[in-house]
Chains A and B, each alone.
Chain A
Amino acid sequence: MPPNTMSLGLPTASELKGYRIWDAYFTPSFSHPGRDGGDLIMADIQRSLPTIALGQFEKLHYFAHVGLGTTTDPAFETLVRQQPQTVLKPLETWPDLLIGSIQLNPHDPVASSDALRRWLRDGPMRGVYFAGGGPAAMTCTDPRFHRLVEQISELGGVIMQHTWLKTGGKQGPGESTPAELAQLAAAHPHQKFICAHAGGQWEEGIRAIADHPNVLIETSGFDATAGFIEMAVRDLGASRIIFGSHLPSRSLGTELSKVIAAEISEEDKRSILSANFRRLLNVA
Chain B
Amino acid sequence: MKRRALLHSVAVIGASSLIAPDQTDASADESVPTDETDWAGSTAITDTNVHLFHWPCRRLPLDETARLVAKLQSLGVESAWAGSFEGLLHRDIKGVNQRLFDACSQHALLEPMGTINPRADGWQRDLKRCRNDFKMRGIRVYPNYHQFQLADDCFVSLLRAAAKMRLLVQIAVALEDVRTQHPLLQVPDVDLTALPEVASSIPDAQIQLLNHRLSSSQLKRFQSVKNIRFDTARVDQTDGVATLTKAVGSDRVLFGSHSPFLIPEAALIRVAEANLSEPDLVAVLSKNASRFAEARV
In the bound complex, do residue A254 and residue B270 qualify as a contact, i.e. CB atoms below 8 Å apart?
yes
Interface hits, A41-76 → B, CB 8 Å = 46-54, 56, 58
In the bound complex, do residue B259 and residue A50 qualify as a contact, i.e. CB atoms below 8 Å apart?
no
Residue of B nearest to A14 (CB): B35
- A94 smallest CB distance to B (angstroms): 8
In the bound complex, do residue A53 and residue B234 qualify as a contact, i.e. CB atoms below 8 Å apart?
no
**With the chains together, A51 CA to B19 CA distance in Å?**
10
A226 at the interface (CB under 8 A from B): yes
A117 at the interface (CB under 8 A from B): no
Residue of A nearest to B70 (CB): A3
In the bound complex, do residue A53 and residue B32 qualify as a contact, i.e. CB atoms below 8 Å apart?
yes
**With the chains together, A263 CA to B60 CA distance in Å?**
11
Identify which of B21-29, B92-100, B111-119, B222-230 touches chain A: B21-29
In the bound complex, do residue B24 and residue A252 qualify as a contact, i.e. CB atoms below 8 Å apart?
no
Contact of B32 among A4, A56, A225 (CB under 8 A): A56
In the bound complex, do residue A251 and residue B40 qualify as a contact, i.e. CB atoms below 8 Å apart?
no
- Chain A: residues with Cβ within 8 Å of the partner, total of 56
In the bound complex, do residue B236 and residue A56 qualify as a contact, i.e. CB atoms below 8 Å apart?
no
Interface string of B253-270 (1 = CB under 8 A from A): 000000111111111111
In the bound complex, do residue B260 and residue A226 qualify as a contact, i.e. CB atoms below 8 Å apart?
yes
| Known contacts A9-B75, A13-B34; is-contact A226 B262 (Cβ 8 Å) | yes
**With the chains together, A201 CA to B181 CA distance in Å?**
8
How many Cβ-Cβ contacts under 8 Å join chain A to chain B? Answer: 197
Identify which of B164-172, B198-206, B271-279 touches chain A: B271-279
Give the residues in chain A near B40, CB-CB below 8 Å. 3-4, 6
B58 at the interface (CB under 8 A from A): yes
Contact of B266 among A49, A168, A230, A253 (CB under 8 A): A253
In the bound complex, do residue B261 and residue A226 qualify as a contact, i.e. CB atoms below 8 Å apart?
yes
**With the chains together, A250 CA to B31 CA distance in Å?**
23
Interface string of B171-209 (1 = CB under 8 A from A): 000001111111100100000000000000000000000
Give the residues in chain A near B12, CB-CB below 8 Å. 7
Give the residues in chain A near B33, CB-CB below 8 Å. 7-8, 10, 12-13
Give the residues in chain A near B16, CB-CB below 8 Å. 50, 53-54
- B32 smallest CB distance to A (angstroms): 4
| Known contacts A4-B40, A253-B265; is-contact A227 B32 (Cβ 8 Å) | no
Contact of A8 among B9, B19, B179, B260 (CB under 8 A): B9
Give the residues in chain A near B37, CB-CB below 8 Å. 7, 12
Residue of A nearest to B74 (CB): A3
Interface size class of B (residues with CB under 8 A): 35 or more
**With the chains together, A50 CA to B178 CA distance in Å?**
31
A256 at the interface (CB under 8 A from B): yes
- A177 smallest CB distance to B (angstroms): 12
In the bound complex, do residue B186 and residue A10 qualify as a contact, i.e. CB atoms below 8 Å apart?
no
Contact of B275 among A50, A96, A97, A253 (CB under 8 A): A50
A236 at the interface (CB under 8 A from B): no
In the bound complex, do residue B61 and residue A226 qualify as a contact, i.e. CB atoms below 8 Å apart?
yes
Give the residues in chain A near B21, CB-CB below 8 Å. 46, 49, 94
Identify which of B128-136, B140-148, B237-245 touches chain A: B237-245
| Known contacts A3-B75, A12-B33; is-contact A251 B273 (Cβ 8 Å) | yes
- B29 smallest CB distance to A (angstroms): 4
Chain B CB within 10 A, most for which of A53, A96, A250, A263: A53
Residue of B nearest to A21 (CB): B26
Chain B CB within 10 A, most for which of A14, A224, A253, A256: A253
In the bound complex, do residue B62 and residue A226 qualify as a contact, i.e. CB atoms below 8 Å apart?
yes
Please give the residue numbers on chain B whose beta carbons come within 8 Å of chain A beta carbons, in ascending order: 9, 12-13, 16-19, 21, 23-26, 28-35, 37-41, 58-62, 74-76, 176-183, 186, 234, 236-240, 259-273, 275
| Interchain residue pairs with CB less than 8 A apart (25) | A3-B40, A4-B38, A7-B12, A7-B38, A9-B272, A12-B37, A13-B29, A13-B33, A50-B275, A51-B238, A51-B273, A52-B24, A53-B16, A94-B24, A97-B24, A167-B182, A200-B179, A251-B238, A251-B240, A251-B273, A252-B273, A253-B270, A260-B265, A261-B266, A263-B61
